């Protein structure tokens, strides 16, 4: 069983392939920076139709500048391009206030570099330094300007829509402070808030941000521009370690299989990057353009699946310092599974913390989470090694043991040893039972 999860962004080239993608993909992502409300609702409906048990992550755009709706256009070094009147539209008129002559204008995570040469109230002319393909809604970065942060009115509108639809997770772009996360949590209903680390100011307050988040994303595109590409490997490792320490699932994103947007095979460097990320301990790896707009969305998902599975063969569990009594119980469960030669760890109840605590220890065994509602079951599918199933709450321990015994047969068979951990009906908080059990 592959334990590191696959997140795939749904877009025009993949929406009609959901029947083929859903057996492999663990989490479906919708990037709300693209499309309109009608399209968002249609994508949501189709994902729920083809993969009702899979979680949906909806990404808020954040205060990111973007190109407007344009046809794909090749630009080459030395070309002059115009933003604004008579040229390429941009998403926010604040762009023209932020840019000054001589400043860099980076597009598509810095793949295309231009320099502003003439700036007026609603028009910017720029010279292309590094060329590439311009396409609709690609991000714009202004590394020499102080772009405002925080939730935008558009974010709040989209957040309301996402919550009403029933998004399982909300991706908070360009987070800089813990209070931004708390603001989204107030409006997100039961959805987890996934903080996207892509600003230097977020690195400066990383532990505070991780502590109040439900999950974290290493958003390497904008983060690389913010801190410099040479700093990215060290910061990726740091973000993963801090997230693991706090028991928060962490997603790796951006340019994972970028070459497969146009090619049916990945590069060797991409394969090694995926393998190294698995070794560092991410919970999930995300595809963006590869599946949203690429020519080979299904092939990209299959390659990611295959590389992860191959890499996990060599993955050794990493001890994480216990912080709470639930941590101690999780550690005991993993130790017991190894000493007893168990086939499976089962976490029972509606306490998501114990599942997260076991998952962060990266046990070699799969973790079956038996929970009382589909919303929690979907969210836990993001976590490393977790398979979730929904069963109604039971009122006594004997019934719980019988239910767990039957559920175990989904994955293992009679006579096998399993580890049971969870909360009995009388326990309001925390974990209060741990049992080594033979499936009968």
Average pLDDT over residues 35-54: 96
What pLDDT is attached to residue 427? Answer: 65
Has residue 245 got a pLDDT over 80? yes
Superfamily of domain 65-141: PK beta-barrel domain-like (2.40.33.10)
- Domain 5-63+149-310 indexed as CATH 2.40.340.10: no
Query: pLDDT higher for 86 or 288?
Result: 288
Specify the fold of 325-438.
Pyruvate Kinase; Chain: A, domain 1 (3.40.1380)
3-state secondary structure the chain: CCCCEEEEECCCCCHHHHHHHCCCCCEEEEECCCCCHHHHHHHHHHHHHHCCCCCEEEECCCCCEEECCCCCEEECCCCEEEEECCCECECCCHHHHHCCCCCEEEECCCCEEEEEEEEECCEEEEEEEECEEECCCCEEECCCCCCCCCCCHHHHHHHHHHHHHCCCEEEECCCCCHHHHHHHHHHCCCCEEEEEECCHHHHHCHHHHHHHCCEEEEEHHHHHHHHCHHHHHHHHHHHHHHHHHCCCCEEEECCCCHHHHCCCCCCHHHHHHHHHHHHHCCCEEEECHHHHCCCCHHHHHHHHHHHHHHHHCCCCCCCCCCCCHHHHHHHHHHHHHHHCCCCEEEEECCCHHHHHHHHCCCCCCCEEEEECCHHHHHHHCCCCCEEEEECCCCCCHHHHHHHHHHHHCCCCCCCCEEEEEECCCCCCCCCCEEEEEECC
User: What are the sequence ranges of the domains in the chain?
Assistant: 5-63+149-310, 65-141, 325-438
Decide whether 5-63+149-310 matches 325-438 in CATH topology.
no
Task: Give the pLDDT confidence of 267-315 residue by residue, as tens digits.
Answer: 999 999 999 999 999 999 999 999 999 999 999 999 999 999 999 988 7
Task: Give the pLDDT confidence of 229-244 residue by residue, as tens digits.
Answer: 999 999 999 999 999 9
pLDDT band at 432 (very low <50, low <70, confident <90, very high): confident
Has residue 24 got a pLDDT over 90? yes
In the predicted model, what is the mean pLDDT of the chain? 93
| 139-148, 309-318, 332-341, 426-435: range with lowest mean pLDDT | 426-435
What pLDDT is attached to residue 429? Answer: 66
Has residue 186 got a pLDDT over 70? yes
């Amino acid at each position: 069983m592959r334990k590191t999860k696959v997140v795939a962004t749904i877009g025009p080239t993949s929406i009609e392939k959901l029947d083929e993608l859903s057996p492999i993909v663990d989490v479906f992502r919708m990037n709300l920076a693209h499309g309109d409300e009608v399209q968002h609702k249609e994508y949501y409906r189709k994902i729920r139709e083809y993969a009702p048990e899979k979680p949906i992550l909806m990404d808020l755009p954040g205060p990111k500048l973007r190109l407007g709706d344009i046809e794909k256009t090749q630009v080459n070094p030395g070309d002059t391009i115009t933003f604004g009147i008579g040229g390429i539209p941009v998403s926010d008129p604040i762009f023209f206030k932020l840019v000054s002559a001589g400043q860099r204008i980076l597009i598509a995570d810095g793949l295309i570099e231009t320099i502003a040469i003439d700036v007026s109230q609603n028009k910017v002319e720029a010279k292309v330094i590094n060329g590439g393909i311009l396409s609709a809604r690609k991000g714009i970065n202004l590394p020499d300007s102080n772009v405002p942060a925080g939730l935008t009115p558009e974010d709040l509108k989209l957040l309301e829509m996402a919550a009403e639809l029933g998004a399982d997770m909300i991706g908070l772009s360009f987070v800089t402070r813990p209070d931004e996360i708390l603001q989204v949590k107030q409006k997100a209903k039961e959805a987890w808030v996934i903080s996207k680390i892509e600003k230097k100011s977020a690195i400066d307050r990383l532990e505070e941000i991780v502590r109040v988040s439900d999950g974290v994303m290493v958003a390497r595109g904008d983060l690389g521009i913010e801190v410099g590409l040479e700093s990215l490997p060290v910061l990726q490792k740091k973000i993963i370690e801090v997230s693991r320490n706090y028991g928060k699932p962490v997603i790796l994103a951006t340019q994972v299989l970028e070459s497969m947007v146009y090619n049916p095979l990945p590069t060797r460097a991409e394969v090694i990057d995926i393998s190294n990320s698995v070794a560092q301990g991410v919970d999930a790896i995300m595809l963006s353009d590869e599946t949203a707009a690429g020519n080979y969305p299904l092939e990209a998902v299959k390659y990611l699946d295959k590389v992860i599975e191959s890499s996990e063969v060599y993955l050794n569990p990493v001890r994480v310092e216990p912080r709470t009594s639930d941590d101690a119980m999780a550690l005991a469960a993993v130790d017991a599974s190894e000493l007893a030669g168990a086939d499976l760890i089962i976490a029972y109840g509606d306490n998501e913390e114990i599942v997260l605590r076991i998952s962060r220890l990266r046990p070699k065994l799969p973790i079956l989470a038996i929970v009382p509602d589909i919303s929690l079951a979907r969210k836990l599918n993001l976590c490393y090694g977790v398979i979730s199933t929904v069963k109604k709450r039971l009122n006594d321990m004997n019934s719980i043991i019988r239910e767990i015994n039957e559920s175990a047969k989904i994955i293992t068979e009679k006579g096998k040893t399993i580890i049971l951990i969870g909360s009995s009906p009388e326990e309001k908080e925390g974990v209060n039972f741990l049992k080594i059990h033979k499936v009968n």
